[in-house]
């Protein structure tokens, strides 16, 4: 059962790290960027790829910077993500 679950998670993660079907197979670097966030924020949705992508998108302000960059490439932040990231790191009080 564990190898099957691991394989399903690997497939789901390779699709979710990019967020678009055009890039259905993310690079290892892209997969690694979001892996901790998938477990931390969206673990209950594994192996439902669509739900994981939606979860990551819904939690944009809580994503790590590397995962945010993968999920929202070229996105110009209007201050919300950066402010939330600083708050999480303790810079804002």
User: Per residue in 15-38, pLDDT tens?
Assistant: 444 444 434 456 888 889 999 999
- pTM passes above 0.85: no
Domain ranges of the chain: 28-86
**Cα 51 from Cα 89, distance rounded (Å):** 27
**Cα 75 from Cα 14, distance rounded (Å):** 21
User: Per residue in 34-80, pLDDT tens?
Assistant: 999 999 999 999 999 889 989 999 999 999 999 999 998 887 665 55
**Cα 90 from Cα 2, distance rounded (Å):** 38
* Contact status, residue 49 vs residue 21, Cβ threshold 8 Å: no
- Cα 66 to chain centroid, rounded: 9
């Amino acid at each position: 059962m564990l190898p099957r679950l691991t394989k399903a998670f690997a497939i789901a993660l390779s699709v979710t790290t990019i967020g678009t079907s055009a890039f259905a197979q993310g690079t290892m670097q892209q997969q690694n960027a979001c892996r901790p966030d998938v477990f931390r924020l969206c673990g209950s949705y594994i192996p439902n790829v669509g739900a994981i992508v939606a979860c990551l998108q819904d939690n944009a302000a809580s994503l790590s910077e590397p995962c945010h960059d993968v999920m929202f490439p070229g996105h110009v932040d209007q201050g919300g993500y950066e402010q939330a990231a600083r708050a999480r790191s303790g810079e804002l009080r």
